[in-house]
Chains A and B, each alone.
Chain A
Amino acid sequence: MIPERVEIIVIGAGLMGCSIAYYLSKDKREVVVFEKGNIASGASGRNGGQVIQLEGRDKNPKTIKERLAITKENNKILKELEKELNFNLEYRRTGSLDIALNKEEWDDIKETVKAQKEAGDREIEILGRKETLKLSPLLTDNVFGARYRPSDGTINPFFLTYGFAFSAQKHGARIFTHTSVKNIIKENGKVKGVELEDGKKVHSDIVINATNAWSSFLCPEIDILPLRQVAVVTEPVAKLPVYPMEAFIEGDAIFTTTQTKSGNLVAGGFRTQARERRLHYDYSVEPVELSGSSAIFKRIFKGIEDVCIIRSWSGTMAVTGDCLPCLGRYPEVKNLYIAAGFLNGMAYGPMIGKLLSELIVYGKTSIPIEIFSPERFYKKKINWPKLYNYTVLAEFFARV
């Protein structure tokens, strides 16, 4: 039964929404979560589960520091989380690689690692061709080298999201799935609650928009772009020496993961066909995307050509104007919060829930999040390319 009045409403039951609901309900707050699909039915259940603390090729010392402050703390939480949630999350610290398959990429990786080391990141390493192949002998011989971070790892994204959801429910939070929010009710610069799809109004003191790729439908003042990627999974195979991996091939970002507990390999990202903004919400997979994504295995591995792809799917991530998450108090509307714009939620999720609950309960956070403030995009028009995919966006951000 949907209540008429609650203390806190969280919109979206993905990883962020569930983790926020967990930490708030643990703090004895009355929380209700509205989700238009199912728990983890968006990007939270459609990713590879790589916990990569500094994904992409960030060379800005300020953002490197601020991001690592959160993701490193997140890594610590993940280690304790299985016990805390009493839920098997399949979390393993395996290390992660960012591999280069040509000279340009290799130079870029070396430059990135140099910048990140200078920014005070001590654990990141650069591996030459021989060292990379020694660590991960399955990689193609064309590899130039890699960036290696030992404390990265892999997690089961479903278990993580459901672990938070179940624990939040145990603490009294209520999660309503298949309940779409039409808009957020605001009055005199203050949030009053939400209006559901069927016209029913639910009043609350605080509203948190955690809908990532869908957040601009509810908060149109901040323009967050959806970005669709395709993923494939193989049949289970005997244990292989593989690591969670990022790579840029022909301007497109791809990823592969370690094997799941049952032995499957997941890869994705290559050759996404969506161009128009509305098509980035489309979950169907085109045949050319399937063959393109499957070809990733052949491009970066050797010796496992006979392994079969058994399923494919697509998911929608979100990009902000500077590729960093958008997190904190919503400008000009009191008691409205936003947590969106995540490209790599697994490395942030638990910590974001913790930080946002701190912000709501105590009014300040233990780790500064000013750099992620929503103010930086508020009512700012971003000239996003009309037709885009990852490659187009990478060029767009290189220009800005």
Chain B
Amino acid sequence: MKDYRIYQHPILGKIPERKKITIYFNGKKLTAYEGETIASVLYANGIRRLRKTEKFNEPRGIFCAIGRCTDCVMTVDGIPDVRTCITPVRDGMKVEFQKGLGKWKKKNW
């Protein structure tokens, strides 16, 4: 699969190497680098559809990328509605596609 990451930036130069970690998207293994956000890892792996809307079942992806618009919310480690564009990845993280507001899979209570 094509990697959409920038390794050689025209102004910033060579991006320093970071620690490789693994996250899971709907059970599928994805390679991520420490410090990246969930949404950027998915984007780099060619995944653009992050959730579906409640009423019309329309796909949504990254929109504002600064944690305001909530278009990129997904179920992360069983917690629904996590804004993936501002949440950094962690090794072994389980990210899931979400419909509407999703469901609490892991109960914190």
Chain A residues in contact with chain B, CB under 8 A?
Answer: 137-139, 235-240, 263, 301-304, 306
Contact = CB atoms under 8 A, between A and B. Distances in A.
Interface residues of B, number: 12
Interface string B34-47: 00000000000000
Contacts of A236: 81, 101
B108 A238 contact: no
A238 B104 contact: yes
Interface in B83-102: 101-102
A139 B108 CA distance: 11
Contact of B109 (A235, A238, A303): A303
B56 to A, nearest CB: 15
Contact of B107 (A139, A237, A303): A303
Contact of B102 (A139, A238, A304, A306): A238
A238 B107 contact: no
Contacts of A239: 101, 103-104
Closest A-B pairs by Cβ, 4 of them: A303-B108, A238-B80, A303-B109, A238-B101
Given A235-B70, A238-B80, A302 B108 contact: yes
B3 to A, nearest CB: 30
Contacts of B82: 306
A335 B89 CA distance: 70
Contacts of A306: 79, 82
Contacts of A301: 109
B88 to A, nearest CB: 14
B51 to A, nearest CB: 12
A143 B17 CA distance: 49
B64 to A, nearest CB: 14
Contacts of B102: 238
Nearest to B98: A238
11 contacts: A137-B107, A237-B80, A238-B80, A238-B103, A238-B104, A239-B101, A239-B104, A263-B101, A302-B109, A303-B108, A306-B79
